[in-house]
Amino acid sequence: MGTRAISSILVTGALGQIGSELTAELRRRYGDGNVVASDLRPRPEGELGQAGPFEQVNVTDAEGLADICRRHGIDAIVHLAAVLSASGERDPLKAWHVNMAGLINALEIARDLELTQVVCPSSIAVFGAGCPKEDTPQETVLKPSTMYGVTKVAGELLCDYYVARYGVDARGLRYPGIVSAETLPGGGTTDYAVEIYYAAIEKGAYTCFLNEDTKLPMMYMPDCIKSTIDLMEADYDRLIHHGDFNVGSMSFSAGELTASIREHIPDFRTTYNPDYRQAIADSWPSSVDDTAAREEWDWRPEYDLRAMTEDMLTRLRARHEAGLLYR
Ligand code: NAD
Ligand code: SER
């Protein structure tokens, strides 16, 4: 197929944890006017809503989504709108509906309008019973225990199906838990790894909903953005995989994350009170083997736990002092 240039991008779920920062970076690279932010929620007041075009749309509305693509001459969709793992267990049917209808709509529009590319993140939630916990391979048993994981496995298969059957350039990567300072996460099992930094700055103490020793794959937002854009811009002819790349960065438990925060705030304390999210975390890997991403599109993460903690605390502290921690 060869690599085709992208000039106009629609981001769904643009107001979420990842979308809010990825959209800003895409606008820097592709031009403010060429990246349409969209979400179920209305246009926000700040930079994201004002710097470039914004459309309020429900991704389950196929015609609404197609209309936006036609009006803005979109040639790539970065499809981020989804219901995540913890929220998905509270309302599994909603997770199925939003995650599957949203993705099939994006893929059908790509087929119909002959778009250049669709990017849809998958997740470590595709893994479950029967796969190795450490260095979980790219190709392994995929038996998730959450509805979110079920939708992500089905989503990967759908992306690969549209590549093989219709020649749609669909790409996806299995993000680990994403840690970020700009926008709070939206209902995942790894959300503790963001909340803990806010609590450290605000209160000096945190009650964690996972236990101390549960080690999960994680990634800092700058690497999440880099991985997504690297994959978007990768040479199609080098790709053997399409919708399901493992991407590794760092792995840690809540205990190890607490220790890294205590290097900066020695009195910081975490107590542990695991809830229903513990079973979800227990079903996921501790680390992943991302050889395919490294070989096919030169994936290299830049942040480790120490660098991430330093940056998170610096940024949140500055906001806290300005009275804008939760702005
Ligand atoms: P988020 O929950 O922070 O944001 C999702 C956004 O989608 C929200 O702004 C929400 O309003 C919007 N949305 C929800 N339902 C919608 C609908 N029906 N129509 C339109 N918009 C809708 O999620 P995120 O963390 O930014 O995740 C983005 C993508 O990355 C998702 O596909 C998610 O599964 C994947 N992912 C995220 C993580 C993580 O740790 N954040 C890890 C693995 C994979
Ligand atoms: N961080 C996400 C979640 O916890 C993983 O996909 O749901």
What pLDDT is stored for residue 98 in this prediction? Answer: 98
Does the annotation mark 30 as catalytic? no
pLDDT above 90: residue 3: no
Q: Which residues line ligand 2 (CB under 6 A)?
A: 84-85, 123-125, 148, 177, 188-190
pLDDT digits (tens, 9 = 90+) for 93-151: 999 999 999 999 999 999 999 999 999 999 999 999 999 999 999 999 999 999 999 99
pLDDT above 80: residue 177: yes
- Strands, DSSP E only, in 231-277? 245-246, 250-252, 269-272
> Which pLDDT band holds residue 51 (cuts at 50, 70, 90)?
very high
Å from CA of 244 to ligand 1 middle: 17
> Which pLDDT band holds residue 1 (cuts at 50, 70, 90)?
low
Pocket test for ligand 2, best of 80, 120, 191, 282 (most atoms within 8 A of CB): 191
What pLDDT is stored for residue 150 in this prediction? Answer: 98
Pocket test for ligand 1, best of 18, 23, 158, 189 (most atoms within 8 A of CB): 18
What pLDDT is stored for residue 121 in this prediction? Answer: 98
Query: Which candidate, 287, 98, 312, 29, places its Cα nearest to that of 184?
Result: 312
Domains and CATH numbers, the chain: 9-175+221-246 (3.40.50.720), 178-218+249-284+303-321 (3.90.25)
Å from CA of 57 to ligand 1 middle: 14
What pLDDT is stored for residue 271 in this prediction? Answer: 98
What pLDDT is stored for residue 4 in this prediction? Answer: 77
- Span 206-226, average pLDDT: 98
Angle, CA 220 vertex, CA 153 and CA 89 arms, to 5°: 40
pLDDT digits (tens, 9 = 90+) for 304-317: 999 999 999 999 99
Cβ atoms of 149 and 125 within 8 Å: the answer is yes
Determine the Cα–Cα distance for residues 7 and 91; give it in Å rounded to an integer: 37
Average per-residue pLDDT in the chain?
97
Question: Exposed e or buried b for every residue in 4-27, given b needs 16+ CB within 10 A?
Answer: eebebbbbbbbbbbbbbbbbbbbb
